[in-house]
Amino acid sequence: MNNPGQIKVAVLVSGGGTNLQALIDSAAAGKLPHAKLALVLSNREDAYALTRAKKAHIETAVVTRAACGSQAAFEAELCRHLTEANIDLIVLAGFMSILSADFTARYPRRILNIHPALIPSFCGKGFYGLHVHEAALAKGVKVSGATVHFVNEIPDGGEILLQKAVPVRKGDTPETLQRRIMEQAEWKLLPRAVELVARDMAKKK
């Protein structure tokens, strides 16, 4: 059901979609009263996140860079879907494609991203997926964590909204550290950030 007090949210994904699942579960538990998960957009046809979205009866669409031919055409197609669905807020949840300055400028303070480290550590170009945790372990940091930030034209460079620290343990592998950061930080922070921003946006609507 459409609730007029709710902000329409699109979640952009590329992979497993555990962060999307955290949003779906939060919504089902009544923890996202100001946000409606209205659309899941994937740039990969085989993203398991799409299955999660369908199970939750959320509209889905697939837009691949290859099918579009150019970055500009790819982003135009993303925009078309976002506009058609009247999306107010975009959430990048494991979306493995860097968006151009043209795209981010269209949605100022309207795009959120979750990064699996404490920005400004281990962030920016090349720091995605397991690479982030490999770099953190190579440096020998004793805490890492996750950050939710607004997205601007600088990769991982927009205003920080929420952060949570997570301990690094002796014997950690990139995989074990990734999992702990997801469980203890990402899956909690992202729903909280979405509700915070949606509530603020709803006030101004």
Which residues of the shown chain bind ligand GRF in the complex (CB under 6 A)?
A: 15-19, 49, 93-94, 114-116, 182, 186
Distance CA 145, CA 159 (A): 17
Q: How far apart are CA 98 and CA 145, in angstroms?
A: 21
Residue 81 designated active-site: no
Which lies closer to ligand GRF via its Cβ, residue 65 or residue 76?
A: 65
Residue among 76, 86, 74, 77 nearest 110 (CA): 86
Closest distance between ligand GRF and the C-beta of residue 169, in Å? 18
Give whichever of 76 and 97 is closer to ligand GRF, judged by the CB atom.
97
Q: Which is nearer to ligand GRF, 31 or 179 (CB)?
A: 179
Q: How far is the CB of 16 from ligand GRF (least distance, A)?
A: 4
Determine how β-strand 89-92 pairs with β-strand 7-13: parallel
Residue nearest to ligand GRF (CB): 94
Q: For residues 80 and 3, is the Cβ–Cβ distance under 8 A?
A: no
Smaller CB distance to ligand GRF: residue 36 or 52?
52
Q: How far is the CB of 3 from ligand GRF (least distance, A)?
A: 26
State the catalytic residue, choosing from 34, 81, 115, 133: 115
**What are the CA-CA distances from residue 124 to residues 40, 96, 127, 188 (Å)?**
24, 13, 6, 23
Residue 5 C-beta: closest distance to ligand GRF, Å = 27
Q: Which of 88, 81, 23, 80 is nearest to 49 (CA)?
A: 23
Q: Which residues contact 161 (CB under 8 A, 6 or more apart)?
A: 112, 148, 149, 150, 193, 196, 197
> Would you name the residues annotated as active-site residues?
115
